[in-house]
Structure 1
Amino acid sequence: MSEVKENAGDAGWSELLDPRYSAATTTLCLGVALFAFNGFLVSTSLPTAVREIGGLELISWAFTLYLVLSIVGGASGALLKGRFGARTTLVGSGLIFLLGTLIAAFASSMPEVLVGRALQGLGEGIIAAICYALIPELFPSRLVAKVFGAEALVWATAAFGGPLASGLLTEHFSWRAAFLVNVPLGLIFIALVLRIVPKFSGEVSRHSVPIFRLAAIGTGIMLVALAGIANNLGLEVVFVAAAGLVLVCVIILDRRSHTPLFPSDAFALNSTVGIGLWVVLLMPVAQASTSVYLVMTLQDLWSYGPTKAGAFSATFAIAWSTCAILVANIQSPSRRAFLIRLGPALLVAGLAVIVVGFSLDIPLVVMLGQMSIGTGFGVSWGFLSQNVMEAARSGERDRASALLPTLQSAGYAIGAAVAGLVANAAGYPEATTPDGLRDATITIFTVSATIGLGAMIAGFALPLRKKNPLAIELHKPL
């Protein structure tokens, strides 16, 4: 066990590769890589799969079930970690992920693929949640932002390398190969966990798993997903409203439970954790519209090819990872507080610039808006996540940390549904002229910018601690 002073000098990136932390860095980044690469691999290979085994009408459910189960798995991550320990839970969830991968890879029908995708989502949701929960345990505070920077780099690499690798595997071998590439990654991850993560030696939690609340979370996210694929505006409104009601009830019930899934002050408006979680939720909700509609609009409005449109969209990931790396060395609490508040502001500004770009019919302006959004996430996300982790009440750090990736995924799901609702109301699917398509697109991103204002207001309301109350932190590196 080593003692690390909080006010030590700025840590270099090389310290992540120091023998004390290199194994932890590799393990957590590989856990993120499983989550990131799998999504890009599958999205590229599935269209070929349905041409071979059929089930085109079910293809959207391959993503929907994955998303729902990953959020349910993430919500249970902290509880499972407390009951079985990080190592056992990570190995178990890794095996679930591998089982799902093999079922999907050797499927002979789309329903079998759906079973595999559901298991993949469950396993990866738990992995992502526990990897987040382990960050403040395994690294001193001065290195946490660098860990998030390294993970952002993994995501950016996946955004470019995932579709390319999947395309090559699908074209030259088989769509099944794009699934099977996850097998060696999963086995390496499990081997690292078994070798690196200590055996659980804490007090075992004997509380039962709250099946009802987890099922309710799954139901709420399923309703959100149904809203995203419904073709009727009235149904979309009903699904979104019902989803909101279900998820609010889950939060209320969780606060009264003896086996809570969330921090006790989750979404409260008078605490760092509560307000911070609102920012974590609302930023992806606002940004989701670009993930759903930007590439499609570039192709339909300006006749971009898939590769050019994809590269255009990827400027978001480039800006995020680049900025996350550039700011990771900042240790000043006041500068970190400024960047946490700057992030949502850049998100809103970027969405507004995209609106201006489409209004003026200038692609370069739209790209600048996309890069501004990525910059907003890059400069703030790591510090925001760290602030929520470190502000959690005694005994609740695991729940606060594990909730972060789960809430991010939920934010994208809710944002996609809201964007779909706005798109249908604005006539996006029926637009047959450039002007009609442009007007509908402007409406979508204007609403997204308005949602982003909520994240910006929450960011400025966020009570940020000036410094860690502990002068010395104790860490047990992997």
Structure 2
Amino acid sequence: MSIPTRTAVRTELFGPARRATTIGLLLLISLIAFEAMGVGTAMPAIVADLGAVSQYAWPFVAFMASAVIGTVFGGRWCDVAGPRIPLVVAPALFGSGLVVAGTAGGMGQLLVGRFLQGLGAGVLGVAVYVLVAAVYPQHVRPAVFGLVSSAWVLPALIGPPVSGIVTERLSWHWVFLGLVPVVLLAVALVLPACRRLGPPDPAHATPPARRGFALASVGAAVGVSTLSWASQQTGALAGVVAAAAVVLLVPSMHRLLPVGVFRARPGVPTLVAARGLLAGTFFTVNSYLPLMLAGTHRWSLTTAGIPLLVGSLGWSASSAWQGRHPDLARHRLLRAGFGLLATGTAGMLLVAPAWGTPWLAVPLWAVAGVGMGLGFSSVAYLLLAQSGPGEVGFHSAAAQLSDQLTTATMIAAGGGLLAMFGSAASALPILVAVLTAMAVLGVLIAGRTAGERP
């Protein structure tokens, strides 16, 4: 097979046939990223204005619960009907959630808006991958996933400060309402591609019904959102609630994930497990790194955010690099990505303790970010390459659920350790050691994901 040149790949992405689709997809990803980054910054002002500081965690919980439901049903919907309708309905749900939340005068309306946003974001996260599988040739997909990763970087860099400025100078309402025009533009750009897809091919059999699917999705939503709530609390109650959530999640995920995920069965099951290991490791450290630097080493919050910035830049750079090398075996790139992530995470054992060296967090998290850029893109590519007709939605949803579940579980575990030990300097080294073991496990199982030839 001949290797496409960079010019040829660029033409495939931004030529007349796909330019609008590519830009529309990037806008859809970017608006969800801006919302995710901006709401966290604005939330203290939001709950204070609504007089509901004691309910601070609930807007996040509402989003998480509905995102899980949207992910599960979005996967099924895309497999049965194709991505063309979900790609219009999902942004409509997300946009309506922005309007409802942005005009909220009380906590109840805000929670409804956040629920609609999460539902739309969950469906959209799956539908984007199904559209990539339907529209872009296999040799172009590494570059597509490189662009998707890059679409998260600008929001990560400017989302929090822009949200802060908008909240202070205008109102927190515009953190939501200001994104509505972007939703409309993105849908307008993607709509022509959706029309060209047409209805699903009748030659492809309808995916089989999955017994207990609806009940399992509700159980997963309750479990993941409960873990999300527990991760923001302290004390023994949070630990009990987190443990109960895990008990609820086990049978739910057994229904919602491919058979063999927990045994790292070769192929798609290992890919789904790898997505969870990548996300759970990286995003958990990302969540606790500012506490590590500000709480233990007395860095300012602004300075403590520098490692997060360089991690995002490393992710974007390596994801773009892999997109320019479609000839490389993706399972080998995945192993390299896990290796770099393990190196960056293990190095935090030299940062987390009170005697640690805090400035090491900057280069170490750049290394981890490079690993994520290689690993995440490789999982996405391999998952599409190994999914047959009627499976792309289910497999993409399973990978996204694995991501959500593992991240929520590990962040909640970190909160439990903090409650148990009482200080970041004592608790976080234990958490880092566990996360390092997860990344090393990823290195060991990466070879089981091989199933394609570039």
Figure out how many residues of one structure are paired with residues of the other and give that number.
Answer: 445
Aligned to 1:443: 430
| In structure 2, C-alpha distance between the alignment counterparts of 1:304 and 1:448, rounded to whole Å | 23
Shift of 1:155: 0.6
Which range moved further: 195-204 or 22-31? 195-204
Q: Which amino acid aligns with 1:324?
A: S
| In structure 1, C-alpha distance between the alignment counterparts of 2:92 and 2:106, rounded to whole Å | 23
1:125/1:443 CA distance change after superposition, 3 Å:
same
Q: Secondary structure at the match of 1:19?
A: coil
2:293 and 2:304 in contact (8 A); partners too: yes
Q: Which amino acid aligns with 2:10?
A: S
| In structure 2, C-alpha distance between the alignment counterparts of 1:465 and 1:341, rounded to whole Å | 14
1:463/1:177 CA distance change after superposition, 3 Å:
closer
Query: Does 1:390 find its partner at 2:376?
Result: no
Shift of 1:130: 0.6
Q: Which amino acid aligns with 1:354?
A: M
Q: Secondary structure at the match of 2:151?
A: helix
Trace 1:101-120 onto structure 2 (pairs within 5 A): 101-120=98-117
Query: Does 1:138 find its partner at 2:109?
Result: no
2:216 and 2:253 in contact (8 A); partners too: no
Aligned to 2:222: 219
Cα shift readout 1:167-217 (whole Å, capped 9, x = no counterpart): 221121111111111211111122223333125412495969943222122
1:289 and 1:445 in contact (8 A); partners too: no
Shift of 1:55: 0.5
Query: Does 1:465 find its partner at 2:451?
Result: yes
1:338/1:354 CA distance change after superposition, 3 Å:
same
Trace 1:79-478 onto structure 2 (pairs within 5 A): 79-198=76-195, 200-202=198-200, 203=202, 210-233=213-236, 235-252=237-254, 254=255, 262-263=257-258, 267=262, 269-334=264-329, 336-359=330-353, 361-428=356-423, 437-460=424-447, 462-465=448-451, 467=453
Q: Which amino acid aligns with 2:313?
A: I
TM, length-normalised to structure 1 = 0.86
Q: Secondary structure at the match of 2:166?
A: helix
1:464/1:239 CA distance change after superposition, 3 Å:
same
Shift of 1:443: 2.4
Cα shift readout 1:49-95 (whole Å, capped 9, x = no counterpart): 22222111112111121112112201111212234442222222222
Which range moved further: 381-390 or 445-454? 445-454
2:68 and 2:401 in contact (8 A); partners too: yes
Aligned to 1:472: none
Q: Which amino acid aligns with 1:123?
A: G
Shift of 1:384: 1.9
- 5+ residue gaps, structure 2, are none
| In structure 2, C-alpha distance between the alignment counterparts of 1:56 and 1:422, rounded to whole Å | 25
- 5+ residue gaps, structure 1, are 1-5, 255-260, 429-436, 469-478
Shift of 1:19: 1.7
| In structure 2, C-alpha distance between the alignment counterparts of 1:308 and 1:81, rounded to whole Å | 43
Cα shift readout 1:293-351 (whole Å, capped 9, x = no counterpart): 111232223332232222332211111001111222223344x3321101112111111
2:142 and 2:381 in contact (8 A); partners too: yes
2:24 and 2:187 in contact (8 A); partners too: no
Shift of 1:244: 3.2
Q: Secondary structure at the match of 1:177?
A: helix
Trace 1:56-71 onto structure 2 (pairs within 5 A): 56-71=53-68
1:319 and 1:375 in contact (8 A); partners too: yes
| In structure 1, C-alpha distance between the alignment counterparts of 2:331 and 2:281, rounded to whole Å | 21
Trace 1:45-56 onto structure 2 (pairs within 5 A): 45-56=42-53
Q: Which amino acid aligns with 2:149?
A: A
| In structure 1, C-alpha distance between the alignment counterparts of 2:452 and 2:122, rounded to whole Å | 32
| In structure 2, C-alpha distance between the alignment counterparts of 1:165 and 1:244, rounded to whole Å | 36
* CA RMSD between the two structures: 2.4
1:228 and 1:416 in contact (8 A); partners too: yes
Identity %: 24
2:341 and 2:372 in contact (8 A); partners too: yes
Q: Secondary structure at the match of 1:87?
A: coil
Q: Which amino acid aligns with 2:231?
A: G
Shift of 1:263: 4.5
TM, length-normalised to structure 2 = 0.90
Pairing partner for 1:21 from 13, 18, 23: 18
Cα shift readout 1:201-243 (whole Å, capped 9, x = no counterpart): 124959699432221221221332243234234x444444433
Query: Does 1:43 find its partner at 2:45?
Result: no
Shift of 1:456: 2.5
1:352 and 1:445 in contact (8 A); partners too: yes
Cα shift readout 1:359-417 (whole Å, capped 9, x = no counterpart): 55322212122112111101221112211221124531232134333432333222211
Which range moved further: 445-454 or 33-42? 445-454
Aligned to 1:73: 70
Q: Which amino acid aligns with 1:312?
A: P
